[in-house]
Amino acid sequence: MDRFKALMVSKKDEQRQQVEWAELGPEQLMDGDVLVRVSHSTINYKDGLALEGKAPIIRRWPMIPGIDFSGTVLESSNPDFRPGDEVILNGWGVGEVHYGGYAQMARVKGDWLVHKPAEFTAAEAMAIGTAGYTAMLCVLALEAHGVTPEAGPVLVTGAAGGVGSVAVAVLSKLGHHVIASTGRPTEADFLMDLGAAEIIDRAELADKPRPLGKERWAGVVDVAGSKTLANAISQTRYGGTVAACGLAQGMDLPANVAPFILRGVTLAGIDSVMAPKGKRIEAWSRLARDLNRGKLAELTQTRPLTDVTELAPRILAGQVRGRVVLEVG
């Protein structure tokens, strides 16, 4: 492929950023030891922020956004990969400081790639994407701190979104009693089909938190931060664990130390961007084992990559259910 299409975001001085399609050559890509023909990508909340310029996600201009992609290796000088290998990339600053997945080709460091599990197609890998991979990192954190199905219910906030929907599907398959929190009551049937045992309105977690609330759950997967996270912590059972992976409501945490000192609650921070390769491989291996592909299909819609600019404001407004696969074509 001598020339390929890419979505380019540019900005001059303090002007509003510009988003437009460009035609590039492979020589215009950034440094890396593996060249990939991209077949699929996806849109995460972070991608929406980047495309809409709502947060300083992009830190190098111009930039090809897209923090995820799957595809096939075309060229490689990395000993771990050879032409024809099917690969996945999540994070590592791609789409932020290194050209990302919203293009037909990408050149990256092989250390950033993982081999696609044979259980998934390239499209299914992007149906999972950073959101689903992050959800599994949360599950691994809960398990590492002893949160078993017998320990009590697990709360998932933002349950109808990307991270939340995959977390609900995985946790329910593992036997957990899942309490799904959402601000979209119309998605109740969708969440129950994924395996949620209870649905609560996110408004229950939106008020000023008490130092200690009624003990309700043994574990939490939280994508919201702010008051939602503080309320979730205050209502976690003795010895429970809260996995915090998002900031959809805000970066603040209006909490206090009482749950940690008086109930021994653990707050586990989840970073998916720079997670070491071993943890990534473990997460993808567990997804291949513990994520029902039928449930994955239920929570996924497929769109062409050209629709991504229309999807960006919708994902920020909480109007995108589950996951979106973007066909690069």
User: Where among 253, 269, 285 does a domain terminate?
Assistant: 269
Question: Is 278 part of any domain?
Answer: no
Q: What is the mean pLDDT of the chain?
A: 96
Are residue 159 and residue 103 in the same domain, yes or no? no
Are residue 54 and residue 173 in the same domain, yes or no? no
Please tell me the predicted confidence (pLDDT) of residue 16.
Answer: 85
Structure token pair of residue 239: 């010895």
212 has a pLDDT exceeding 80? yes
Question: Is 179 part of any domain?
Answer: yes
pLDDT grade, residue 15 (50/70/90)?
Answer: confident
Question: Is 106 part of any domain?
Answer: yes
Please give the residue range of the domain that contains residue 245: 130-269
Please tell me the predicted confidence (pLDDT) of residue 112.
Answer: 98
Question: Is 39 part of any domain?
Answer: yes
Quick: pLDDT tens for 39-91: 999 999 999 999 999 989 999 999 999 999 999 999 999 999 999 999 999 99
Are residue 98 and residue 153 in the same domain, yes or no? no
Are residue 304 and residue 218 in the same domain, yes or no? no
Are residue 317 and residue 248 in the same domain, yes or no? no
Structure token pair of residue 181: 């929190």
Are residue 143 and residue 170 in the same domain, yes or no? yes
118 has a pLDDT exceeding 80? yes
Question: Is 287 part of any domain?
Answer: no
Q: What is the b/e burial string over 143-160, where b = at least 16 CB atoms within 10 angstroms of the residue's CB?
A: eebebeeebbbbbbbbbb
Angle (nearest 5°) at CA 210 between 207 and 214: 105
Question: Is 319 part of any domain?
Answer: yes
Are residue 99 and residue 182 in the same domain, yes or no? no
User: Where among 269, 288, 311 does a domain terminate?
Assistant: 269
What is the β-pairing status of strands 154-156 and 178-182? parallel
What is the reported pTM?
Answer: 0.94
Please tell me the predicted confidence (pLDDT) of residue 94.
Answer: 98
9 has a pLDDT exceeding 90? yes
The mean per-residue pLDDT over the stretch 319-326 comes to 94
Quick: pLDDT tens for 142-166: 999 999 999 999 999 999 999 999 9
Question: Is 280 part of any domain?
Answer: no
Are residue 227 and residue 144 in the same domain, yes or no? yes
CB 56 within 8 A of CB 21: no
Please tell me the predicted confidence (pLDDT) of residue 312.
Answer: 97
CATH code for the domain of 154: 3.40.50.720
What is the count of structural domains for the chain?
A: 2
Are residue 104 and residue 182 in the same domain, yes or no? no
Are residue 256 and residue 154 in the same domain, yes or no? yes
What's the number of CA atoms in the CB half-sphere (13 Å) around residue 171? 38
CATH code for the domain of 319: 3.90.180.10
Are residue 226 and residue 314 in the same domain, yes or no? no
Please tell me the predicted confidence (pLDDT) of residue 1.
Answer: 64
14 has a pLDDT exceeding 80? no
Question: Is 281 part of any domain?
Answer: no
Are residue 254 and residue 140 in the same domain, yes or no? yes
